[in-house]
A and B are shown apart, each in its own frame.
Chain A
Amino acid sequence: MKKLEYDLVVIGGGPAGLAAALEARKNNVRKILICERAPYLGGILQQCIHNGFGLQYFKEELTGPEYASRFIEEVEKSDIDVKLGTMVMEILDDKKVIAVNREDGMFEINTKALILAMGCRERTRGAITIPGSRPAGVMTAGTAQSYVNLEGFIPGKEVVILGSGDIGLIMARRLTLEGVNVKGVIELMPYSTGLIRNKVQCLDDFNIPLLLSHSIVEIHGKERLEGVTIAEVDQNLKPIKGTEQYISCDTLLLSVGLIPENELSNKLGCEIDKVTRGPVVNEKRITNIPWVFACGNVLHVHDLVDNVTQEAEIAGRAAADLINQKAAEAEKDVIITHDQNIGYVVPQHIDALNNKEKTVKFFLRVKNPDEDVRLIVKDNEDKTLMSIKKSIVEPGTMVTFNLPREFVTKDTSSINISIARELAE
C-alpha cells in the first residue's frame, strides 16, 4: 500500500476545506493535502448556481461556483496538493488516514494534524418516517438541485416541497424558472425555517404559497408519485383530523434539515454534540482529539458560506500553530453554557489563556422565534459581560456575536449565554 507523508490533511474540498487549507498554508504549513471525494473542488457550492454568496466575506454578491472559484484558483496557484475522486475510508488514532481513489488504490497518509471538513447530508424521508407508499419521485431538494444544475435534468412537472429549509426554497424558484409548477411549500413549524430573504425572493416573488403548521400525512402512488395528503398540525405538531387535503403532484422534494456527516469522526472517537451533531470544539476548532480540527457544516450547519469560510480560517490557523509548535502548552477550559431558548452554541468551550485573537466569535441558534430580545452573556460570577439588543431572532438565522477576550480572565470557569425578552420599561 502506498504511503504518503503530510503535515496537514484536510478531508473535504468544499468551502470549509479550501479556506482551512489556504489559511494553514499562509501560516507556513508546508505539506498540505486536500482529499475530495467528488471529481472537482468546491463541494456543494458547485450546484448552488444562484447568487447571494459572499456578501459578508467579499462584500459582493456571487454565485456558488463563483464563490468557490475564488478559493479554488488560490489553491491551484499554491503548492497545496489535491487528490480528487478520493474517499477517506478511515482515520486511525496514530495520525494516519486511509483513503482510496482510482489512481492510488487504497493508500495511507501520515499526518501531523487533520482538519475535518466533510460537510453535511440531507435528512431523508425515512428519517422523518412519512407514511404511505414508496414511489419514484420523492427525493431531497439537494438531490433535485444536483439533477437540475449539474446533470441538466428536471425531476418532475408538478412539485410539492416539504420543509422550508433554504435548499427547498431555492429549488422552488429554480424549478419555477424551468417551467415546473411548484404547487407549494409545506412547513411543519409555525415559522419558516430558512433565511427570510430566501422566503421573499424564492416564494413570495413567484406566488408560491407557504403553508405553515402543515405536514404530509400520506404519500400516494405505486410506481411514480401521484399525490400527497397534507394536513394542518396542532401545537404538538400532530396532524389535526379533518384538515386533510389531497394535492396531486409527481414530485416531492424534502428540505427538512441537514445533518453533519460525522461517521469518520465518530469512528475515530470524536466527542459529538447531541444538538449540533458535530464534534465538540473550543474556539480554535480543536476537537477532543488534540490533532483533529473541525470546521464548516461538519461542525454545525451554517446558513451562510461566508461564516463557513471564517470558521475554516480559524481551524486552519490553529492547525498551523499545532504543526509549527506554536500552540500554547497550558490551557484553561471555560465551559460555555446556555439557556433553554438557545438550541446550541459553538464553540462549546474556550481556552481562557488563549489571547491570540482579540475576540471570540460565537455562533448560536435559538429554538423558537422571538422579537425584541436581549442576548446576555454572563460569567460564572453572574457578572454581565455583554448585553446585546436583537429585534428578531429565529431558528433559521444563526445569531453571531464577538466576545472581547478581555472579559475572559484566568478566574473565569464558565460563561452563560441567554436570550430573554426585554422587560417593558
Chain B
Amino acid sequence: MKTEVLIIGGGVIGASIAHQLAKYNLDIILVEKASDVCMGTSKANSAMVHSGFNIDGGTLKGKLALAANKVIKQLCEDLDVGLVKPLGSITVGFEESDLEKMKKTMENGIKNGIQGMRLLNQKELHEMEPHLNPEAKYGLFEPETGIINPFEYTVALAENAVINGAKVMLDTEVLDIMIENKTVKGVKTNKGDIEAKVIINAAGLYADKIAAMTEEIDFEIKPRKGQYFLYDKKWRDILTYTIYSAPTKVSKGMIVVPTIDGNILAGSNAEALEDKTDLSTTAEALDQIYTSTISHLFPELPRMGDVITTFTGLRAASSNEDFIIEAAKTVKGMINVAGIQSPGLTSAPAIAAMVEELVREQNLELDFSPKANYEKGRKTPVMLTELSYEERNALIEKNPDYGEIICRCESISKGEIKDAIHRPVPATNMDAIKRRVRAGMGRCQGGFCGPKVLDILSHELNISPLEVTQKGKESFVLASRNKEIPLAEGDQKNEKIRI
C-alpha cells in the first residue's frame, strides 16, 4: 500500500489533520489501532470548548486554543456538529483566597482578549445559578466557553476527510517506522506495510513511543488520569453555565457542565500514572470528587442512583506540560504532534493548521493545490429526535426502519442504527453505535436495546452474533450458543466462591 500522507491516530487531532489536509490534492491514509475513531483521550474528557480565559496565552497551547476559538464555530457549522458556543462559564469560590485567584484569572482572560468577563457578588452568583451551594460566595463570569460532543466532532472530521478521498484504516496498529537515508519511507503495521512521504504522529498517549521509532526523543507522555460522573438528563436544569470550582495549581479547576445531549458531566481529578491502559475508576477518587466538588457545588446531585455512568479519561500530558508540535530533528518527513492534553479538543483545528505549515516546510514533493470538488460538509446523519413529527413521517414513509424505536431511553430508531453501521467511518461494535447515535447511552445503559443492537450489527455486518463486540478486538458480548457448553467442562471447572 502506498500513500503520500500517513496519519497515525484517529483521535480528534488525527481526524482534524486529515480533515485539514484533505482540502488539497493529497493521498491520505489515517491509521487507528482501535476499532473506531475517537477511542482514547478524545472520548473521555470534559467536552468543553475552552475560551482560553484561564489559560496562559504565552504557551503554545494557549496560542492555539485562542486561535481555534475563532474558527471552531464555522467548522462545526460546515460539518453540522452540535456546538453550543457561547454558553459561558462561572468560576465559583468559597474563600477569600479564591477571590484573589479569580481576580488574577480575570486579568489573564482580559490579556487573552476575552471580553465581557466580570466578578459576581454572592447575590448575582445565586441568581444566575440558584442550585449552587448557598455557601458559595464568589463568582467569575466569562461569556465565551462552549460545549461540544467530542465523538460527533471527531467522527465528523474523519467522515469529511473520507468524503474528500482520505482513507481511514481501523484496527491498524503501527509496529515500526521505515526510514531510508534519514527520510521516512512508511510504516509497518499489523495490516502490512504502508509507504508514505510524510508521517504525522498524532498517537495521543503513545506519541512518544511512535516518535521514538524514528530518533532519540527528549519528551515523554505521562498519562494523567481523570475520573468523571455522568448524570441522568433529568438533572439538566440544575445549572445554566459551565461551572468551574476555583482553580488549583495543577488544574484549571474541577467542572460541572451540561453536555450537548442534555446530561450533566462532573469531574475530574488528576492522578499521574505510568500505565497508559489504566482506564479504571476507583472508589477513593470517585468519593473524593463527589465530596470535594460535586456535592460541594451542587448539594442536590446524588452520589448514586441518577448517575448513568462513571468513567476515566487519560490526558496525554508531556513532560513540559505544553503541546509539542514539531518536525523530527534528524529524520525528514516526520511530524510529531504530542502532549495534546487540555485544551486539545478545543485547539484541534489550530493544531491541524499548524501541522499543515510544518508539512509544507518539509519541502516534500506534495501537491498542495486545492481539491477541485472539495466538500466542506458531510451528509449529516438522520437524527429523528431533532425533526418535527411531519419530517419524521416523511422519512418513515420512505424507510420504515425509522419508525422502529430500538433504544427506548433515547428514542433511537433502527434506521439510525443501520445508518451508523454504513457511514463513511463505520460503527462496527456496540460502543461505536452508542457513540454515534446514543443507543445504549441512556439511563438503562443498553439493558433493553443491547440484544437488539447486537442483532442489527450481526445482520448488517453479516457476522455471527458471537462475533459482535462491545468495543472491538476481543471484547465479545456473548460466549456461545445455548446447549453448546459440554457438561464435562462445566463440571471440571465448577469452583465456587469460598464462604
Contacts and interface: CB of A to CB of B under 8 A. Distances in A.
A79 B330 CA distance: 82
A126 B230 contact: yes
B280 A132 contact: yes
B318 interface: no
Given A126-B230, A134-B279, A154 B487 contact: no
Given A152-B482, A181-B494, 6 more contacts: A101-B404, A155-B479, A160-B497, A180-B485, A181-B495, A211-B497
A142 interface: yes
Given A102-B404, A103-B400, A131-B282, A122 B310 contact: no
A199 interface: no
Interface string B459-474: 0000001100111111
Nearest to B230: A126
A102 B400 contact: yes
A136 to B, nearest CB: 3
A287 interface: no
Contacts of A160: 497
A105 B397 contact: yes
A157 interface: yes
Contacts of A268: none
B444 to A, nearest CB: 5
B262 interface: no
A154 B466 CA distance: 9
Contacts of A146: 451
A222 B303 CA distance: 25
A367 B400 CA distance: 48
A157 B283 CA distance: 28
Nearest to A39: B404
Contacts of A386: none
Nearest to A151: B451
Interface string A220-247: 0011100000100000000100000101
Closest 3 CB pairs of A and B: A179-B485, A136-B470, A184-B497
B445 A131 contact: no
A104 B262 CA distance: 29
A136 B494 contact: no
Interface of A: 1, 37, 85, 87, 89, 98, 100-106, 121-122, 124-129, 131-137, 139-140, 142-143, 146-148, 150-158, 160, 178-181, 183-184, 186, 207-209, 211, 217-219, 222-224, 230, 239, 245, 247, 250-251, 263, 266
B403 A103 contact: yes
24 contacts: A87-B408, A100-B392, A101-B404, A102-B404, A104-B403, A124-B309, A124-B443, A126-B308, A127-B304, A129-B303, A131-B310, A134-B311, A136-B471, A136-B476, A139-B450, A143-B446, A158-B493, A179-B489, A180-B485, A180-B490, A181-B493, A183-B497, A209-B499, A224-B474
A140 B440 CA distance: 13
A153 B476 contact: no
A134 B474 CA distance: 13
A289 to B, nearest CB: 19
Interface of B: 229-230, 234, 277-283, 286, 303-311, 389-390, 392-393, 396-397, 400-401, 403-405, 408-409, 411, 443-448, 450-451, 455, 465-466, 469-487, 489-490, 493-499
B116 to A, nearest CB: 36
A160 B497 CA distance: 9
Contacts of B401: 102
Nearest to B488: A179
B405 A100 contact: yes
Given A100-B396, A133-B280, A153 B489 contact: no
Contacts of B489: 157, 179
Nearest to B483: A178
A208 B466 contact: no
A106 B392 contact: yes
A190 to B, nearest CB: 14
Contact of A128 (B304, B469, B485): B304
A122 B411 CA distance: 18
A230 B499 CA distance: 12
Contacts of B450: 139, 143
Contacts of B393: 1, 105-106
A154 B465 CA distance: 11
A293 B270 CA distance: 49
A155 B478 contact: yes
Contacts of A263: 409
Contacts of A127: 304-308
A188 to B, nearest CB: 12
A47 B485 CA distance: 21
A151 B456 CA distance: 13
Contact of B479 (A218, A239, A250): A250
Given A101-B404, A124-B447, A147-B451, A153 B481 contact: yes
B309 A125 contact: yes
Contacts of B446: 143
Contacts of B474: 223-224
B471 A223 contact: yes
Contacts of B392: 100, 105-106
B404 A181 contact: no
B403 A207 contact: no
Contact of B281 (A131, A150, A250): A131
A117 B466 CA distance: 34
Nearest to A254: B447
Nearest to B390: A1
A136 B397 contact: no
Contacts of A105: 392-393, 396-397, 403
Contacts of B477: 136-137, 155
Given A122-B444, A124-B444, A151-B451, A178 B482 contact: yes
Nearest to B430: A136
Contacts of B286: 129, 131
Residue among B281, B455, B471 facing the most chain A CB atoms (10 A cut-off): B281
B451 A98 contact: no
